[in-house]
Chain A
Amino acid sequence: MTKPSLSFQGGTLVLYGIEQNETVPPFFQWIKARWRCEAYHYPALLTWLHANDIRDTVLRWQPLNLTLHDQREPHDYQLEALKAWQVADHLGSIVLPTGAGKTFVAIHAIQRVNRSTLVVAPTIDLLHQWYARLVNAFATEVGVYYGGEKIIKPITVTTYHSAGDLMATYGNQFKLIIYDEVHHLPAPSWGETALMSPAPFRLGLTATYPTQAEQQDGRWSLNHLIGPIIYEKQIDELVGKQLADYRTERLRVELTATERQQYDADYAIYTRFIKERKLYLHGPRWWLELMRLSSLDPKAREATLAHQRLGRLLSSAAEKLAALDRLLQEHRHERILIFTESNDVVYRLSQRHLIPALTCETKAAERKQLLEGFQSGDYGALVTSKVLNEGIDVPEAKVAVVLGGSAGAREYIQRLGRILRKVDNRQAVLYEIVVRDTVDVGRARRRRPRKETA
């Protein structure tokens, strides 16, 4: 008879060679003719495996030989946070405000552990940012695993969305798992990814730790999956040192006569329908209602098409582009970031001004190269769609231009807080180009934060 063994299977642990009548630790369940449990029980099983001479085939992670190439000295609070995590057996969450260098803390954590690590980020954009930071920090190859690319390396970055697939196949290859923006983890299917990992070391990072209410009623508890909060610093304890300083300027442009004619015509089609059908009665779900109607009613379909044309017209209005021309010339010697919601417009601007474009289509390696070129000054400007929305790190940018867009207030703060940093005591500036007397203006107003932080 072969020796009993424990294997990793699709995010679970399975005992082979141990029958139903034998005694096993309580979290195992007899399912489909084997003893099985969730992979996250792995660390708690080690003593039992050893005492019973059970062969452990779960372990696939490896010691690394990482040297840190990032010469920046950690701040005191970052060192305190790292210490607290190590004292807590490498389990738990660190809560620091946006801009306080959570990624930097994580990089030091990886270096101290020096074992295969998986980083889980909420968006592909943040995945790319982690990729660049990790490559630079350790001067080593880093894997990325998401819809567009699937490359596994001893240090790999994935998204919450792809983490489940990754865990099912490669979950046992990582000893440390880091959840960036860990407040997303309590969501039912996201939390499952932590359950499917045997990693004994876990680190959560966030600026906004979820409340107790956000961790119950079918949602996962972070305490359970990651460990408790092991370090926390409030925003006011850090303000002044790390947060950005910027001012905003609004530029209002006109539509050309032809554009205005087309705009008014489409606007009329669209609003007439909304009013006729009293779609505003549906509250925040009015858009869903319009989409529903547009597959039944030709008039609704007309209205959505008109709305689509409005969006396209506004995103590439001639005077907006002319105003951008002027800003680019005015700030020729500074690094300029340009945001627009539309991918089409991004590529048009890239071709028009011969400046790099960053979109969801850009692969990790080129993306890193573009951002570095931008940082080093090889590229004077960078145009992007949604990708820089949440916490992208481009510390050199001092000028940002927003074309159109309809992002929420929170996103707005994050963009500014993270992207525009005060360099050499010079204030950064954000220009917003909106078209006068159109829905653009309303959107821009909605986008402004209630209270400016600068």
Chain B
Amino acid sequence: MLTGDLVRSRLFQRNGELQIEWLDGNNPHWQRTAAELIKLFQQQVDQPQARWQRALEGYEAGRTDYMTIRGLAKVLSDGATFQPVATPIDPVELRKRLFSRGPTFVTPDPLYLQTREKVLREAAVEYNVTPGQVEHILYADRTAAYLLAAAGPAWTSASLITRYNLELARAALYWADQMQVQIFDSFKDFWKFLKLFKLMFEATVIDGGYSIQLDGPISPFVQATTRYGRQMAAFLPALLLGTRWRMWSTVKPPYFGKRLTYYLDESAALVSHFKGSGEFDSRLEADFAQEFREKFGEEREKWLLTREDEVILLGDTVMIPDFAFTHKKDGRRAILEIVGYWHPDYLERKVAKVRAANRSDLILLVYEGVNLSRERLLDTPSQVLYFKHKPVLKEVMALVEAVAV
């Protein structure tokens, strides 16, 4: 991610709103700059990081857009792999040894015969390398000496500029104390990444989706902490996995001296680099969907099957059942969760969620081989159907008909 100083020149305020000056991917100047930087970076493969820094300094020279250049370069560096050089002697050991002979001097002193050259030569003999190698190994473990092993993704000027813009959008959140979003799809990914970045949420249902306030554990107890800004920034690409979304945040970048609102929605030309989860989590689910399509998928059939389109809000957690059935005429709905082969801890949490959900229109399709005693689910109003090898669709549809509300 970009550092705060690199984005400063691209952030503005207007009427209390934070504005980002996106890098225009259609501008030939930026296309050329991005292409030149990518080329320059690729020339550094197998070269030390310090050389890349010098090359960059040379490239910037007197240009006033140097901050943007450095930002683009940071994106390139972050996506690449720099590795320490393999050395025949451990640099830490070598330093211990050489420094115990110092200080040495380039020019010999009549009273002090230990010259630098002599010390290096002796060490070279001892380690069976050349004096030049000794000098080279001395600080080979500094990150400045790390070699660029792989230049990362196959960047094009367009993809670099797109990613740079995403990093700008993220960086503006570094100074956020909270974030409010509305989402209308990709619920599962949203909550998955939310958990991954250790954020907390408070969600309410809105027309067609959810409105969610994001913060961290200590936020309710302190005044506008920016402690979780970096986590929100890290999380932002998850929001972009949806096709329709909005985000409002309050941010206080140090150089504006006041809190600003920061708004984004899907109209911003931002592209997520996070991978959304595939359509199905398991074979069981995929098979179920396919069988439904074959047997009940016709237009004239009564029920419409949708995937993970409803979130059951359970305080500090959620349950997102695998499928929902919606009646095409009267809009009645039933939801379905398939409980397949799972780890006992996961099952434990699932049972707790089902109990907390307390929904009579929830159907659980439980694999008989799963280590879950029948009594555990008796006290929930939800419906439980067991299956041996694969779910019996006819039974499921009968139950849907009975419990849908």
Contact = CB atoms under 8 A, between A and B. Distances in A.
Interface string B209-238: 000000011101111011100000000000
Contact of B112 (A36, A192, A332): A332
Interface string B193-216: 000001011100000000000001
A297 B64 contact: yes
A381 B218 contact: no
Nearest to A366: B92
B63 A32 contact: no
A453 to B, nearest CB: 30
A360 to B, nearest CB: 11
A355 B139 CA distance: 12
Given A33-B315, A218-B223, A294-B64, A355 B218 contact: no
Contacts of B370: none
Interface string A328-350: 11001000100000000001001
A168 interface: yes
B227 A189 contact: yes
A352 B106 contact: yes
A382 B63 CA distance: 39
Nearest to B65: A295
Q: For this complex, into which size category does the number of interface residues on chain A fall? A: 35 or more
B399 interface: no
Contact of A189 (B95, B109, B226): B226
Contacts of A347: 139, 142
Interface string A213-241: 00000100000000000000000000000
Interface stretch (A7-15, A102-110, A122-130): A7-15
A151 interface: no
B103 A380 contact: yes
Interface string A289-314: 00000111110111001000000000
A329 B112 CA distance: 8
A270 to B, nearest CB: 14
A358 to B, nearest CB: 11
Contacts of B63: 301
A295 B200 CA distance: 39
A361 B142 contact: yes
A417 interface: no
A34 B220 CA distance: 13
Given A189-B225, A347-B142, A355 B103 contact: yes
Contacts of A34: 315-316
Interface in B102-153: 102-107, 109, 112, 116, 119, 135, 138-139, 142-143
Contacts of B104: 353-354
A328 B103 contact: yes
Nearest to B220: A31
Contacts of A366: 92
B320 interface: no
Contacts of B220: 29, 31, 36
A454 B116 CA distance: 37
Contacts of A11: 217-218
Contacts of A329: 105, 109, 112
Given A164-B227, A301-B62, A351-B135, A379 B218 contact: no
A356 interface: yes
Contact of A351 (B112, B139, B223, B316): B139
B101 A354 contact: yes
Contacts of B315: 32-34
A373 B99 contact: yes
Contacts of A301: 62-64, 66
B33 to A, nearest CB: 14
Nearest to A380: B103
A325 B66 contact: no
B227 A192 contact: yes
B9 interface: yes
Contact of B105 (A10, A32, A36, A353): A353
A218 B109 CA distance: 62
Contact of A361 (B92, B100, B107, B143): B143
B96 interface: yes
A29 B222 CA distance: 13
Contacts of B98: 354
Contacts of A300: 64
Interface in A145-201: 164, 168, 188-189, 192, 195-196
Contacts of B217: 9-12, 36, 168
Chain A interface mostly helix, strand, loop or mixed? Answer: mixed
B102 A379 contact: yes
B68 to A, nearest CB: 8
A369 B93 CA distance: 11
A92 to B, nearest CB: 23
A369 B96 CA distance: 9
Interface in A8-36: 9-12, 29, 31-34, 36
A440 interface: no
B314 interface: yes
B67 interface: yes
Contacts of B143: 361
A38 interface: yes
A37 interface: yes
A370 B98 CA distance: 12
Nearest to B218: A11
A19 to B, nearest CB: 11
A141 interface: no
Contacts of B65: 295
A222 B323 CA distance: 54
A11 B218 CA distance: 6
A329 B104 CA distance: 9
A10 B9 CA distance: 34
Contacts of A354: 98-99, 101-104, 116, 119
B215 to A, nearest CB: 10
A351 B138 contact: yes
B361 to A, nearest CB: 21
A383 to B, nearest CB: 9
Contact of A298 (B62, B67, B107, B223): B62
B255 to A, nearest CB: 8
Contacts of A328: 103, 105
A378 interface: yes
A12 B218 contact: yes
B110 to A, nearest CB: 11
A294 B8 CA distance: 13
Contacts of B138: 351
A329 to B, nearest CB: 6
15 contacts: A32-B201, A32-B316, A36-B217, A36-B220, A168-B218, A188-B223, A192-B227, A295-B64, A301-B62, A305-B62, A325-B106, A328-B105, A336-B103, A353-B104, A355-B99
Pairs A-B, 8 closest by C-beta atoms: A33-B315, A10-B217, A354-B102, A353-B103, A355-B102, A12-B217, A32-B316, A11-B218
Interface of B: 9, 62-67, 92, 95-96, 98-107, 109, 112, 116, 119, 135, 138-139, 142-143, 198, 200-202, 216-218, 220-223, 225-227, 314-316
Given A353-B104, A353-B105, 16 more contacts: A29-B220, A32-B201, A34-B315, A37-B221, A168-B216, A192-B222, A195-B218, A298-B62, A300-B64, A301-B64, A301-B66, A329-B105, A354-B98, A361-B142, A373-B96, A380-B103
